Structure 1
Amino acid sequence: MMLDRLLRKSESFDRLDHLTAKAATQLRRALDGRAVDRALRGSWLGHPVHPLAVTVPIGAWVSSAVFDALRKRDAARLCVAVGVVTVPTAVVTGLAEFSRLSPVQRRVGALHYLAIVAAQACYVTSHRCRTRGSHGAGAWWGLAGLAAVSAGGALGGHLSYALGAGVYEWQRGPET
């Protein structure tokens, strides 16, 4: 499949290795052993927080596209805003996870992060357009944001399912 090949290709994107290693080291140094690290990574829950935190902005943004299709402008604008204001929680919990990734996982994680930054920029622009009365432009920016968040989600899924990032981090593993 073409998508699988593209996702696998992201594992060899080594141009950012120096920056991602440095970022991971600094994050680990800032968080390691602290209560905030355990809170952000989900030790209190027995499950990483990041996959849970991303559901709110993704759900809000998908809903905004549905409301745009139904010509429910106010509802669409509200959903865009909800997504925009909840992304920081997802980003912070993702960065806490990023600090513990292997070099190959960090490559995919960096691309995942960049896709989400692009999505957030599109949705901020979308909200700005909608607030100024340009709902059509806002809807188009929303579609661009949905494409970016979809790419980011595919990379995040690849990171977790294919590369095992965060898997059984707080558990012993499945019962046999």
Structure 2
Amino acid sequence: MEVAVSTRSEQAKHPVSAMLAGPYGHPFHPILVTVPIGAWLASLVFDIASHVVADPGFLVRGAWWLIAIGVIGAAAAAAVGFLDLLAIPTGTRAFTVGLVHMTLNLAVTAGYIAGYLWRQTLSMDGPVALGPLALSVVSFAVLGASGYLGGMLSYRYGVRVADEATQATGFVGR
């Protein structure tokens, strides 16, 4: 049983396609997720700020653009994240966590797409409407839960993380 677990764990550390998903020890997914997370966090800050400034239109329009940037970034992160998911052996806890992580991220992205389209039907001169603001808050909260699962995949299960023997080379003397 120990050999099977070790083999499965090692399989999840190597990319399906190094050119598309990043080479061993350098996955692309973790760096790409910073784009939607940052854009969507900034859009939420802009939304909230639109309720406390005298001329909120620029913040509402800025949030709208940030949501679009986040959706584009999420598409890129999802593409390489899916490749990382394919490296995880099916029937494992790590694969199940990966599926839930992916499903939550797809739901979050759908929420932001819906919010983007909803905002197009509203005035962008006043503060953001409470409906789209609430959708952003809920979507960002779900994103946080999904991020927790992504962290579990990397830091607990070691998906796409170099093995300990490779890591140990960084701690030998010069």
TM-score, normalization by structure 1 = 0.74
Q: Of the candidates 143, 150, 165, which is equivalent to residue 159 of structure 2? A: 165
Report the Cα distance in structure 1 between the residues aligned to 2:150 and 2:25, rounded to whole angstroms: 20
Q: What residue in structure 2 maps to residue 86 of structure 1?
A: 73
5+ unaligned residues in a row in structure 2: which ranges?
1-14, 51-58
Report the Cα distance in structure 1 between the residues aligned to 2:135 and 2:19, rounded to whole angstroms: 34
5+ unaligned residues in a row in structure 1: which ranges?
1-30
Matched residue type, 1:139: L
Report the Cα distance in structure 1 between the residues aligned to 2:71 and 2:31, rounded to whole angstroms: 16
Paired residues in the alignment total 140
Instruction: Tell me if structure 2 keeps the 8 A contact 1:128–1:138.
Output: no
Report % sequence identity. Answer: 31
Deviations 1:116-167 (CA, angstroms, capped at 9, x unpaired): 0110111011101111116312222111210111111011011111111111
Q: What residue in structure 1 maps to residue 63 of structure 2?
A: 76
Matched residue type, 1:53: L
Counterparts of residues 34-53 of structure 1 (less than 5 Å): 37-43=17-23, 47-53=26-32
Report the Cα distance in structure 2 between the residues aligned to 1:156 and 1:54, rounded to whole angstroms: 10
Matched residue type, 2:106: V
Counterparts of residues 1-176 of structure 1 (less than 5 Å): 32=16, 37-43=17-23, 47-71=26-50, 72-102=59-89, 103-133=92-122, 135-136=128-129, 137-168=131-162, 172-174=166-168, 175-176=170-171
Structure 1 residue 96 displacement after superposition? 0.9
Deviations 1:11-46 (CA, angstroms, capped at 9, x unpaired): xxxxxxxxxxxxxxxxxxxx95xxxx1122212x85
Q: Which has the larger radius of gyration?
A: 2
Matched residue type, 2:73: T
Q: Which runs of 4+ in 1 moved over 2 A?
A: none
TM-score, normalization by structure 2 = 0.74
Report the Cα distance in structure 1 between the residues aligned to 2:102 and 2:45, rounded to whole angstroms: 25
Distance 1:138 1:81, change over 3 A: same
Higher relative contact order (CA 8 A, sep 6+): 2
Structure 1 residue 69 displacement after superposition? 1.0
Matched residue type, 2:32: A
Matched residue type, 2:132: G
Matched residue type, 1:42: G
